[in-house]
Amino acid sequence: MKKPVSIIIRIIIGITALAGLVWANMGTRLLNTVSVIGTVVFGAVIAVCVFWKQFKALVSKIWKKRVGKVFLVFFGSAASCCVVLAAVFSVNMVRYIDVPVENVNAVILLGCKVSGDTPSYMLECRLNSALEVLNSHNDAVCIVSGGQGADENITEAEAMRRYLTAHGIPDSRIIPEPNSSNTRENLRLSANILRERGITDGILIVTHDFHQYRAEIYARQNDLKVGHYSTKTDPRHLFFYWIREWAGIAAAYTGLF
């Protein structure tokens, strides 16, 4: 009875890994690190499921040697730690996708790539989410936070300001923050602006769903109590951004960037 159950479990795991393999490469036009990692990991899982007997024999052979034992214990421990961290990060990423606040006094809109002087698709999505909030909270101000990259003609803050004013938001409600170059600086400089204006509550961060937890970490580091209003990520691209975000969260806790 054990053998059929084992085969069924391997089939389920293999099919799941195959789905993950396809998802890891959906919407990927160019080779990137995350898609390669996903392909290697899911491909390895599929290979183990298909060649289970050979895999068990190989592990048994390695285990018989002292160096092999050290390697397997080290590799297994490292892999287990990574899985646990990824699970914890993912749970928290989901937790902070939507955290409403009672009265919205200020929106912090986090920047994203600008193509020349035009918001990229992702930035436009964030801008449209910010418009939803600003149009339903007429007294709220909006900090548009983002500097200028090497391949951008204007700052992200200026591109966002232009978009919002073109869609009916008065310029008087928009506060540009054009000096930040990453999420850590977005929140630090935005926090300074809010303190100068005496705004201490009713603060809402607008960015993509996968990005909110890291924004929350930096908000706490700058003594900001915030809510979250998220832009939904296209499912085709969610694998790439979700996995990449794990590295960003680890860096946020360690202070690397």
Side-chain-side CA neighbours of residue 87 (13 Å): 6
Question: Is 32 in a helix, a strand, or coil?
Answer: coil
Residue 47 to residue 233: CA distance in whole angstroms: 31
Q: Are 254 and 85 in contact (CB under 8 A)?
A: no
Question: Tokens standing for 41?
Answer: 């990991």
pLDDT at 10: 84
Side-chain-side CA neighbours of residue 253 (13 Å): 8
Q: Given the structure tokens 């290979």, which residue do they identify?
A: 47
Q: CB under 8 Å, gap of 24 or more: what pairs does 25-34 form?
A: 26/235, 26/236, 26/237, 26/239, 27/234, 27/236, 27/237, 27/240, 28/240, 32/240, 34/239, 34/240, 34/243, 34/244
Question: Is 100 in a helix, a strand, or coil?
Answer: coil
E strands along 28-168, which residues? 106-110, 114-115, 118-119, 141-145
Residue 210 to residue 242: CA distance in whole angstroms: 6
Give per-residue pLDDT as tens, 163-177. Answer: 999 999 999 999 999
Regions in the chain scoring below 50 on pLDDT: none
Give per-residue pLDDT as tens, 20-38. Answer: 888 778 766 555 777 788 8
Q: Are 142 and 173 in contact (CB under 8 A)?
A: yes
> In what order do the strands lie in the sheet containing 226-231?
174-177, 141-145, 106-110, 203-208, 226-231
Diameter over CA atoms, the chain: 72
Instruction: Look up the pTM and report it.
Output: 0.86
